[in-house]
Structure 1
Amino acid sequence: MAYSTARSTLLDLWCDHTQTDTETQTIPLRRSLRRLKTFLRLLGFIHDSPFTLSISTLSFFSFGVAAPSLVIIFFYCGHGSSTSSACSEYHLKNFELETLFFQATAAGVSLVCFSLSFRKYGLRIFLFVDKYQGNIALFQFDYIPKIDAFFRSLAVWVIPCLLLKMAREIVRAIFIHNDSLIQSVVVVFILLISWTYTATIYLSGSTLFSLVCNLQVVHFENYKKLFERNLDILVYIEEHSRLTYNLSKISHRFRIFLILEFLIVTASQVVTLLETTGNNGTIKFINAADFAISSIVQVVGIIICLHAAAKISHRAQSLASFASRWHALLTCRSNETLQSSEHGGNFSSIGSSITTSVNYIESDIESSDYVLPPMNVESVSDVSSYLKRQAFVMYMQSNPGGVTIFGWTVNRTFMDTIFCAELTVVTFVLGKTLTFTTNNT
């Protein structure tokens, strides 16, 4: 009895010590996650209570919808005898309202989709960080650069577009000089704050999806390193099943977000194209720059999502060819070793040419997948091991994995299909509007 009590006490102390060491080692990762959570809470993605949810909703409708709409309708051109002529030349009110509508709608979809996910799963489960509690100290130094890249990517796209938006509003205020100076400054300030808020929310949603995919890339790269070790085939199958399961969960969580954003951006581009090509007036930087800036932001968000999804899909699909090469190298090496033992020869240098480093041209992001993996395996010549490896390769080829949208795998072929569809829509719209305008002229 005393022995059992002492053993239980030692086990408890050991578990507490192990947990304390793990928590101590993961302090940098927790700091990065805390910084990310604070940023998302400020944007309104994370709600701790119904009060914060109300504040987030009110902020979005106030700064993202109501304030810019009132400015465009009532204060954008000022008041005076020449207001109507100035507006007709430098300000297309309908165009501005349509741009604002699609911009706010895209940001609203991003805010709602990710807010529901954070409320249901939490930040760690959302990022799939909690799944590796035993190895979290090992992966944290790969996680932290990915989280830092989230902020860098967001700043790289938001800041240049904000400067372009600022230049447009300042030029507009200079040309339309019917308003007082204070009113012009207030109008520019409100529009810049509103645009920055909605654009940051929209691009944050796209970059968050990219972050989730990039964190999974870390585990796919680590999975390839497992082939350097002589593990049981069941270990490889179980690990691959877990990775593909995570990808299926990502596909399920984000498919509505991706479809809605794609439809909104497509509708925005079509309406913008209809308005610009069907308009009989003069399209200038002052009255049409908002269309260009909004289009840049929306297309960039879609490109970020598609690039991240295609990247993780190709990482998952490349594992089949990687496993095939691994199986072929082991089979060839085992056969050569068997022949060496039968003939009594000295084949100590066998396989040296296989593991020799090869210079490849870095012409593709997937070029590293074609480098032969270093191996530290024992000679295996029995039929059972060969059949196990063969079954594993067949399993990998039959379960390629990847991010899917209702069964459609997001890869280069999928993006080519989207490009062809968009080009068809653009050609159709241009044909209708240009022909209609020519006939009226």
Structure 2
Amino acid sequence: MAAPPSSLQAPLIHSDDHTDDNDLELALNKLESYLTFFGFCQYSSLKTVVSWLLFFIIGVIVPVLLIVFPFCSDCSEYQIKKFELQILVSQAVVAAISLFFVSHNLRKYGVRKLLFVDHYDAYAVMYRQLYIQKIYGFFRGIGVWLLVCFLLKTAREATRVVYEHHSSWWLSAAILVASLVTWAYSAIVFLTGTSLFNLVGNLQVIRIENYGKILERDLDVSVYIEEHMRLAYYLSKISHRFRAFLLLELLVVTACQFMALLQTTENQGIINFVNTGDFAVLSILQLVGITLCLGAAAKISHRAQGLGSVACRWHALVTCDSNDASGSGISIDSKNMEAAANSMSIDNSESEFDSGDFVPFTVHNRFASSTSSYQKRQSFVAYVQSNTSGFTVFGWIIDRMLINTIFFIELSLIFFVLGKTITITLR
């Protein structure tokens, strides 16, 4: 049985309406069922073996058989095997990275802790409707992008089946269905991993954007500092859990695009939509996934870095509206100051990220009572301004400037590949 929430864990806003609680629970259950269906929830050894076995059969073995063994007499005219194998390797690697890291985090933390949506979480009570919208937006995003890429893939496979001459139309239909099913499975696994990271980032953005509403409440400054420390702690845990995933996906996608660039430029034969159309489909799919990841990381960093201006604006408004007289200088004992500083520190070691939930600091009443309201607000603003990092990858902050550089490099490679795979003939 779960322990009851402490005073610091209790919601800042209470609500008697249990309908939203049920809706949020239903949305989380649907998300967990979806992840279980596609093999991400590997909570036991049996589920792990079955999940990876299905991945290798559907995502690797069957596509290899379709590429290596020709089922028609003139397949070589409409199929370049080295292109097909490279596309298969690229698609399988990014999907395997997604499956490995997401399943690892789910096995270690579970769905609710991975999303930082707990029954005793104050934010889950305050913003549960926004949480529900983001969770269902997760499904819509996967469906839309999968549909776009699936239509392109279907057009390419159908065109190739028409040009190739198999022994029977039943064999052609079977090959078409097998190609689409294996591709769709790998694409769903890859998009699920990137979309889940995007969902985690969007839920944290909700917390950060609504931090100003907490400042509007007449609470002690220590409560504001505690909530900011909670946000910083969650961002640190997200960075720790997903930094390797984001870095590997980015490196693999970039390497795949460069390999596609080299393969298409050195090829001496005719390049058209039939024999290299999968390059276009793969490039669009990978670009969408990386954009979801980098966009979420940059949005987290941008919102977190904006908390300094929010705190300054709040401090200015409260100071101008206050009728208190200016306080005189107050001497603070150095031992009390050191004790307060130690109580507010958070251990950012590797073991801390893998440990339990957030542990709030203890407020020293004597230190709080001996400090004026203005001085406490001033120290709070200084603290927020000096702790605005965001999503980091081994110390590097993923911000908009870095995102713009990466995005335009990837986009230039994508357009080059599309230009090589789509041929327009004017008569």
- Matched residues in 2 for 1:408 and 1:217: separation? 19
Q: What displacement does 1:122 show?
A: 0.9
Query: Per-residue deviation at 1:338?
Result: 6.6
Match of 1:92 among 56, 77, 80: 80
Judged with a 3 Å threshold, the aligned counterparts in structure 2 of structure 1 residues 420 and 394 are, in CA distance, closer, same or farther, namely same
SS in structure 2 opposite 1:122? helix
Amino acid at match of 1:177: H
TM-score (norm 2): 0.79
Amino acid at match of 1:280: Q
After TM superposition, the structure 1 = structure 2 runs for residues 260-275 of structure 1, keeping only pairs within 5 Å, are: 260-275=248-263
- Give SS of 1:26's match: helix
Cα deviation, 1:214-260, whole Å, max 9, x if unaligned, reads 11122112311012122211111110000010000000000110011
Deviation at 1:136, TM superposition (A): 3.4
1:247 to 235, 240, 250: 235
Residue 182 (structure 1) aligned with residue 170 (structure 2): yes
For 1:311, the equivalent position in structure 2 comes to 299
Pick closer, same or farther for the CA change 1:402–1:135 going to 2, 3 Å: closer
Cα pair distance change 1:283/1:185, threshold 3 Å:
same
2:407 and 2:142 map into 1 onto residues whose CA distance is 24
Q: Distance in 1 between matches of 2:90 and 2:409?
A: 20
Q: Give the Å deviation of 1:200.
A: 0.5
- 1:25 and 1:400 mapped to 2: Cα distance? 32
Which of 112, 130, 141 is the equivalent residue of 1:153? 141
Contact 1:173 1:184 survives alignment (8 Å): yes
Deviations 1:382-418 (A, max 9, x none): 9922221111111111100311101111110221343
In structure 1, which of residues 64, 70, 73 is the aligned counterpart of residue 68 of structure 2?
Answer: 73
State the AA in 2 paired with 1:120. Answer: K
1:277-356 → structure 2 map (5 Å cutoff)? 277-334=265-322
Runs of 5+ unmatched residues, structure 2: 1-15, 327-369, 421-427
Question: In structure 2, what is the Cα distance between the partners aligned to 1:212 and 1:71?
Answer: 37
Higher helix share: 1
2:181 pairs, out of 163, 172, 193, with: 193
Instruction: Classify the secondary structure of the residue corresponding to 1:226.
Output: helix
Residue equivalent to 2:191:
203
Letter in 2 for 1:34: N
User: Does residue 1:115 correspond to 2:100, yes or no?
Assistant: no
- Structure 1-normalised TM-score? 0.77
The list of structure 1 runs, each at least 4 consecutive aligned residues, that deviate by more than 4 angstroms after superposition, is: 21-25, 419-427
Tell whether the 8 Å contact from 1:125 to 1:131 is kept in structure 2 after alignment.
no
> Residue 104 of structure 1: CA displacement?
0.4
Q: CA deviation at 1:141?
A: 1.7
What runs of 5+ residues in structure 1 fail to find an aligned partner? 1-20, 340-381, 435-441
- 255-264 or 323-332, larger mean C-alpha shift: 323-332
Distance change (3 Å), C-alpha of 1:406 and 1:22: farther
Matched-pair contact (CA < 8 Å) for 1:270–1:426: no
Alpha-carbon contact 2:308-2:388 (below 8 Å) kept = yes
Q: Which residue of 1 aligns with 2:117?
A: 129
Q: Is the 8 A contact 2:291 2:407 kept in 1?
A: no
Indicate yes or no: 2:154 matched with 1:166: yes
SS of the residue corresponding to residue 282 of structure 1 reads coil
Cα separation, 1, equivalents of 2:19 and 2:152 = 45
Could you tell me which residue of structure 1 aligns to residue 39 of structure 2? 44
Bigger Rg over Cα: 1
Q: Could you tell me which amino acid in structure 2 is paired with residue 140 of structure 1? A: R
- Contact 2:123 2:207 survives alignment (8 Å): no
RMSD (Å) for aligned C-alpha atoms = 2.6
Q: Distance in 2 between matches of 1:424 and 1:287?
A: 22
Determine the C-alpha separation between the residues in 1 that align with 2:18 and 2:43: 24
Cα distance, 1:291–1:145 mapped onto 2, change above 3 Å: same
Partner of 1:231, secondary structure, is coil
Write out per-residue CA displacement over residues 285-326 of structure 1, whole angstroms, 9 at most, x where no aligned residue.
Answer: 101110000011011100000111111111111110111111
Q: How much has 1:118 moved relative to structure 2?
A: 0.6
Contact 1:102 1:268 survives alignment (8 Å): yes
- Partner of residue 365, structure 2: none
Q: Is the 8 A contact 2:24 2:128 kept in 1?
A: yes
The CA distance in 1 between the partners of 2:223 and 2:17, in whole Å, is: 24
Amino acid aligned to 1:97: L
Q: In the aligned structure 1, how far is the partner of 2:18 from the partner of 2:321? A: 43
